[in-house]
Structure 1
Amino acid sequence: MSGDYSIYTGKKKTFSVPDFVVFGLTLVTSAGIGLFYAIRDRNRSSSDEYLMGGRKMYILPVAMSLTATFMSALTLLGAPAEMYIYATMFWWICLAFIIAIAISSQIFIPFFYKLNLTSMFEYLELRFSKPVRVIASITFIVQTIVYMSFVLYAPSLALNQVTGFSLWGSVGAVGGVVTLYTTLGGMKAVLWTDTIQALVMLAGLLAVLIQGSIVMGGFQNAWNIAGSRARINFHDFSFDPTTRHSFWSVVIGGAFFWMSLYGCNQAQVQRAISCPSVSKSQIAMILNLFGFIAIISLCCMIGIVMFAFYSDCHPINFEKLVTKTDQLVPLFVMDILGHLHGIPGIFMSCIFSGSLSSLSSGLNALGAVIPHDLIKPFCCKNLPDKGMAILSRVIVIICGCLAIALAFVVSQLGSVLQASYTVYSILNGPTFGLFVLGMFFPWANARGAVVGCLTSLAFMCWIGFGAFVNAVRTSTSLPTSTDGCNWNVTTTMTSLTPSTVTPFTSSVEPKGSRDPFLPMYKLSYLYYTPAAMAVVIIVGMIVSLITGRRDPQTMDPRLVCPLFDRLFFCVRY
């Protein structure tokens, strides 16, 4: 392998004019779609049309949007880096996704579809009480806005430090465009832009994988190199819950995490039930399954090729090529595609398409939740439908600006990728637990739901904060090498000494810590969602039994999932 790669020159390539043109076209196309639907539907301004697409959306754009919504830049940058640093155990997430989609499409989606709700948090008021609805809504709002700020900032930082693209210019441009087309076009604009963005993601990932494989003499050769350096590993079946990525943590923990997203997350459920029938919603979910597996597999394969490319010259903290793992993919792209002007721009569009899809879905969901759950029930009960549509648009603008502002706060944090997933899991699990408690445990009452949710939130925040304070790591990165860094540069450089680099996450257990709860802090982040759900159910049921369980016969049968009757028929009454 030879060429003007950064591992030989010590210099990073930057974007050319065609690259910026290609990236700009992606933003212009997205904004144009929003403007198109704003003009076309200017006489149909109902809130249902704006937020749900009139519940008449086609299967294909819904399926593509479901795929793109949580395939953010965090995944597109993080999954290849995961293969590079920790090996291939994360690839089992595809099996977890099959389980999650099967359950979500057969149980959760039909359940919420038949309730015909705009905000799924309305269910919590019908099942429990208004305070439960408010608690869950606020948790979702905080979770979504924080997540959007991560999604907006992380790829901008990575691409700025590797390609020279303006950091705050990209934050402002992407945040402004996505707020614009979501405000103008509503659900229809979101679904169709997500469709285009999903195709751009596939094109960008394929370009990187194909060119990377060519450079490495074929994917099989890259696989062999990765295997010889312990990067190919699918057989960690440890039952230890502190193992970061074992088969069980990825498949079981991952299944609960993705089930919470596709079964009980406003952004995803809102898309699924925008179809005209339950069966079409289920078909969209199944098609989304294939899209997800394709994108995740491409990311994992790119990670393997990327490791093979840098197997003898690890670029992190080496002459400051890159400093963080989420910058590896952009560096790799510029190395192998930088000479093809315009192609790196496609990849840049791929990364930011992931951000655009996640941001637009989040904004659209907030446009439904905030007016319907926090404003209308308390101060605008008689607000007409047209007024609700206008209010939703105003909320989208405010939340978009807030996400951009919070990106500045996120810039002060360390590893944004790890922090984003941790924060999301901590806040998402208790909300998921509330829906499971309401749907499958008819004896649970409102007091049990409130205490269970607040206890779960406190418990998960305690674990997350404890892990942060004690600098807990549940896995050690695999060794990397700099033996092949033979740079031919004429500029003054520090002396290069070939060596093997030790893992930059060197300790699983912080030295000197006497915290008796340290084993709990070491819980794998993939178990956060099921752990939070379990706390809600256990505490919720105990409190419900103490304060007087609810009689299932006095309840609207639509509010309890029929699955409970079939599985636990012997204890129904």
Structure 2
Amino acid sequence: MINATVAATLVDPTKPFFSWYDYILFCVMLVFSSIIGIYFGCFGTKQRTVNEYLLGGNSMKPLPVAISLTASHISGISLLGLPADAYRYGGSFLLGGICILFVTVATIFIYLPVFFDVRATSMYAYLERRFDHKTRLLASFLYVLSSLLSNPVIVYVAALAFSTATGLKVHLVVPVVCCICVFYTSIGGVKAVIWTDAFQFIFTVGALMFVFVLGVRSSGGISEVWTKALYGERLNLFDFSLDLTKRDGFWVVVVGLTIHWMGTISIHQTCIQKILSVPTYAESKLSLIWYGIGMVTVKAVCVLIGFVMYAKYASCDPLTTKKVTKNDQLVPYFVVDVAKDIPGLSGIFIAGIVSAGLSTLSANLNCLAGTIYEDFLSKLLPKNITEKTKCAVLKLIVITTGILCLAMNFVVDHLGGVIPLNMAIVAISNGPLLGVFTVGLLFPRVRAKGAFYGAIAGLICISSIVIPAKYYQSRGLIKDTTKPLSTEGCQFFNKSAIPSNVSLQLETFEPHSIFKLSHFCYTLVGAVATMVVSIVISYLTNEKGDIPIDESLISPVSRSLLTREVRIVGTTQYRSVDIPLESLDS
């Protein structure tokens, strides 16, 4: 296989391949990740209890937690997708710095104080205490479904990068990557996940910086990159139009991306579980702040790499000339192009891409195990089982979900448009989840019935927009307008080979503008629909009389809505809603 690839490369220099240096670096990353899992699973403190397996015994330090969070939330989708997005559509993600500031403040003051006090292995336990068991199961189901459907996409994108650079078949790469990740996650628990993420983050950051520096040098320097990005309309970030169908309007990005990141940070099991692995609330806030800085920095570098790619190919677009056939292949193509004279650099970059995929997958598998066990299996298992048995069950869940992820990859390859599909899946679940958590924390009068049906309404609302929108996009009825691209500087390129834009249009149907809504707004729509329906139903259908509320389940910013009357039951402090519900009927 390798020899055939090398032979093809000798014929066509644009065909990528790995040198033995690249393979060594890639294998070192995988082997070292496994060693970390073996150490925490078989030596050290081991993982003898559920708390140690899922929360690290609440003894982790803020810096490795922050690094792990950054690594696990920057998958191959970001490392491949963001530069390609900036290359084709502009650098709107540079506005993420504003968004992450809002997200960090909201998380620290609204969400984190309550979640840290609850300290549940599954954060959906909060919904059971605040509302009821039915609402908790609905939220857990949404999270599990979203993760199960997203994991194969994460692995596939990482494998696609390796396949593009080596010529190996994707389905030969996926099993190796997936099995190694399942191995060290299952035996090492959250400690293995966090420390492996920290190690893999070095590969990711190293890859990004190497590629960025080389790309800038090959493109004529920073000033040349910036000038071409400016004249190529990649820096048009301040379109203050309120049109929500504009893909990259300022308000669409800032508001939409803020709400989207709140759904993936403020109330997401993967993020909150790691933040709760530190011993104190002050350290959890510090972890979150460092995570925000790391996340913005890496995403900004990804966007800048997109600008560098545009500066290099401003006059000869690889997509138009068919040197690559997919957006996701732009970055590997660019890396092989700029690093062809430096042995090992391509290996570092692809190791970084695969590392990012492993980080995200390992975090998801660990959190999936905790959620499935706590919210579904623990009710069915005997009450007197030992901690050792519980850990064995958790490991079995990790292995099972990993096998399912591996099996689904063989389907993903045939679906087409896997990255847009993944974005739709995340938005469909994040919107209702963010809405139901937010009303629980901020609105004491919202009760179980309102929260449950509000989440269902939010799910129906956003699904009714996203699913038809993706269908219309697949039929070519909805298209995003790209920034200017050119082939004027291409050598030995037959421009007449480019297909004519004039073609028979069999379908003249024009989709409704609601289906053209920017993808940045999907989570916002789901969250708002959930909150509005939850509040309305709670006001209209709740039982009459003053209702006791566990004060610790309400965010500090909303506790002023509770009366001063305090009741102590056991060790739990209750206060009542400010306005008795019967007064609402008068």
| TM-score computed with the length of structure 1 as normaliser | 0.92
Contact (CA 8 Å) 1:476, 1:503: kept in 2 or not?
no
Structure 1 CA distance, aligned partners of 2:297 and 2:544? 45
- After superposition, the C-alpha distances for 1:280-329 in whole angstroms (9 at most, x for unaligned) are 010011111221122111111110010111111111152x4211111100
- Given residue 66 of structure 2, which amino acid in structure 1 is its aligned partner? A
Contact (CA 8 Å) 1:183, 1:393: kept in 2 or not?
yes
Mapping of residues 193-342 of structure 1, within 5 Å? 193-316=196-319, 318=321, 320-342=322-344
- After superposition, the C-alpha distances for 1:206-265 in whole angstroms (9 at most, x for unaligned) are 000101111112121122122222222122111111111111111111111111221111
Find the counterpart in structure 2 of residue 468 from structure 1: 470
Report the CA distance between 1:568 and its aligned residue. 9.3
- After superposition, the C-alpha distances for 1:394-444 in whole angstroms (9 at most, x for unaligned) are 100101111111111111122222221121111111111111121111111
Q: Which region of structure 1 is more displaced relative to structure 2, 211-220 or 464-473?
A: 464-473
Find the counterpart in structure 2 of residue 404 from structure 1: 406
- Given residue 372 of structure 1, which amino acid in structure 2 is its aligned partner? E
Contact (CA 8 Å) 1:443, 1:549: kept in 2 or not?
no
- Given residue 535 of structure 1, which amino acid in structure 2 is its aligned partner? A
Q: Does 1:572 align with 2:578?
A: yes
Contact (CA 8 Å) 2:110, 2:441: kept in 1 or not?
no
Find the counterpart in structure 1 of residue 526 from structure 2: 532
Contact (CA 8 Å) 2:93, 2:299: kept in 1 or not?
no
> Match for 2:32 among 26, 29, 32?
29
Q: Which region of structure 1 is more displaced relative to structure 2, 443-452 or 76-85?
A: 443-452
Structure 2 CA distance, aligned partners of 1:173 and 1:552? 58
Structure 1 CA distance, aligned partners of 2:293 and 2:454? 36
Q: Does 1:523 align with 2:517?
A: yes
> Match for 2:194 among 191, 196, 213?
191
Mapping of residues 101-250 of structure 1, within 5 Å? 101-250=104-253
- Given residue 198 of structure 1, which amino acid in structure 2 is its aligned partner? F
- Given residue 163 of structure 2, which amino acid in structure 1 is its aligned partner? N
> Match for 1:486 among 491, 507, 516?
491
Mapping of residues 37-76 of structure 1, within 5 Å? 37-41=40-44, 44-76=47-79
Report the CA distance between 1:559 and its aligned residue. 1.4
Contact (CA 8 Å) 2:181, 2:361: kept in 1 or not?
yes
Find the counterpart in structure 2 of residue 490 from structure 1: none
Structure 2 CA distance, aligned partners of 1:551 and 1:94? 46
Contact (CA 8 Å) 1:470, 1:513: kept in 2 or not?
no
SS in 1 for 2:378: helix
Find the counterpart in structure 2 of residue 555 from structure 1: 549
Q: Does 1:375 align with 2:377?
A: yes
Structure 1 CA distance, aligned partners of 2:13 and 2:36? 42
Contact (CA 8 Å) 1:442, 1:551: kept in 2 or not?
no
Contact (CA 8 Å) 1:316, 1:323: kept in 2 or not?
yes
- Given residue 351 of structure 1, which amino acid in structure 2 is its aligned partner? I
SS in 2 for 1:413: coil
Find the counterpart in structure 1 of residue 450 from structure 2: 448
Structure 1 CA distance, aligned partners of 2:501 and 2:313? 15
Q: Would you identify which runs of 4 or more consecutive aligned residues in structure 1 move more than 6 Å?
A: 498-504, 567-571
Report the CA distance between 1:161 and its aligned residue. 3.3
Contact (CA 8 Å) 1:15, 1:338: kept in 2 or not?
no
- Given residue 235 of structure 1, which amino acid in structure 2 is its aligned partner? F
Structure 2 CA distance, aligned partners of 1:521 and 1:477? 19
Report the CA distance between 1:12 and its aligned residue. 2.2
- After superposition, the C-alpha distances for 1:481-532 in whole angstroms (9 at most, x for unaligned) are 1122214xxxxxxx7127999999x9xx9962255xx121111111111111
Q: Does 1:513 align with 2:509?
A: yes
Contact (CA 8 Å) 2:444, 2:562: kept in 1 or not?
no
Q: Indicate how the Cα distance of structure 1 residues 307 and 43 shifts in structure 2: closer, same or farther if over 3 A, else same.
A: closer
Report the CA distance between 1:13 and its aligned residue. 2.6
Q: Indicate how the Cα distance of structure 1 residues 296 and 73 shifts in structure 2: closer, same or farther if over 3 A, else same.
A: same
Q: Indicate how the Cα distance of structure 1 residues 422 and 552 shifts in structure 2: closer, same or farther if over 3 A, else same.
A: farther
Find the counterpart in structure 1 of residue 386 from structure 2: 384
- After superposition, the C-alpha distances for 1:131-168 in whole angstroms (9 at most, x for unaligned) are 11111111100101111111001232244235313311
SS in 1 for 2:247: coil
Contact (CA 8 Å) 2:109, 2:556: kept in 1 or not?
no
SS in 2 for 1:470: helix
Q: Indicate how the Cα distance of structure 1 residues 391 and 9 shifts in structure 2: closer, same or farther if over 3 A, else same.
A: closer
Contact (CA 8 Å) 2:162, 2:173: kept in 1 or not?
no
- Given residue 310 of structure 1, which amino acid in structure 2 is its aligned partner? Y
Q: Indicate how the Cα distance of structure 1 residues 567 and 131 shifts in structure 2: closer, same or farther if over 3 A, else same.
A: closer
Structure 2 CA distance, aligned partners of 1:260 and 1:359? 18
Contact (CA 8 Å) 2:109, 2:557: kept in 1 or not?
no
- Given residue 512 of structure 1, which amino acid in structure 2 is its aligned partner? T
Identity %: 33
Structure 1 CA distance, aligned partners of 2:278 and 2:17? 43
Structure 2 CA distance, aligned partners of 1:166 and 1:143? 27
Find the counterpart in structure 2 of residue 492 from structure 1: none
Structure 2 CA distance, aligned partners of 1:125 and 1:563? 21
Structure 1 CA distance, aligned partners of 2:515 and 2:384? 48
SS in 2 for 1:555: strand
Report the CA distance between 1:53 and its aligned residue. 0.3
Contact (CA 8 Å) 1:565, 1:572: kept in 2 or not?
no
Q: Indicate how the Cα distance of structure 1 residues 65 and 35 shifts in structure 2: closer, same or farther if over 3 A, else same.
A: same
- Given residue 390 of structure 1, which amino acid in structure 2 is its aligned partner? A
Q: Indicate how the Cα distance of structure 1 residues 503 and 377 shifts in structure 2: closer, same or farther if over 3 A, else same.
A: farther
* Structure 2 residues without counterparts, runs of 5 or longer: 1-8, 565-576, 580-586
Q: CA RMSD in A?
A: 2.5
Q: Indicate how the Cα distance of structure 1 residues 169 and 120 shifts in structure 2: closer, same or farther if over 3 A, else same.
A: same
Contact (CA 8 Å) 1:479, 1:503: kept in 2 or not?
no
Structure 1 CA distance, aligned partners of 2:113 and 2:506? 47
- Given residue 335 of structure 1, which amino acid in structure 2 is its aligned partner? D
Structure 1 CA distance, aligned partners of 2:471 and 2:75? 28
Contact (CA 8 Å) 1:161, 1:322: kept in 2 or not?
no
Q: Indicate how the Cα distance of structure 1 residues 502 and 525 shifts in structure 2: closer, same or farther if over 3 A, else same.
A: farther
* Structure 1 residues without counterparts, runs of 5 or longer: 1-5, 488-494
- After superposition, the C-alpha distances for 1:181-205 in whole angstroms (9 at most, x for unaligned) are 0011101000001111122111100
Structure 1 CA distance, aligned partners of 2:334 and 2:562? 53
Structure 2 CA distance, aligned partners of 1:510 and 1:437? 47
- Given residue 394 of structure 1, which amino acid in structure 2 is its aligned partner? L
Q: Which region of structure 1 is more displaced relative to structure 2, 266-275 or 411-420?
A: 411-420
- Given residue 244 of structure 1, which amino acid in structure 2 is its aligned partner? R
Structure 2 CA distance, aligned partners of 1:94 and 1:269? 21
Structure 2 CA distance, aligned partners of 1:502 and 1:231? 26
Structure 1 CA distance, aligned partners of 2:296 and 2:501? 30
Report the CA distance between 1:9 and its aligned residue. 6.7
Report the CA distance between 1:550 and its aligned residue. 7.7
Structure 2 CA distance, aligned partners of 1:305 and 1:356? 26
Structure 2 CA distance, aligned partners of 1:16 and 1:551? 74
Find the counterpart in structure 2 of residue 497 from structure 1: 495
Number of equivalences: 554
Q: Indicate how the Cα distance of structure 1 residues 550 and 14 shifts in structure 2: closer, same or farther if over 3 A, else same.
A: farther
Contact (CA 8 Å) 1:443, 1:551: kept in 2 or not?
no
Contact (CA 8 Å) 1:444, 1:549: kept in 2 or not?
no
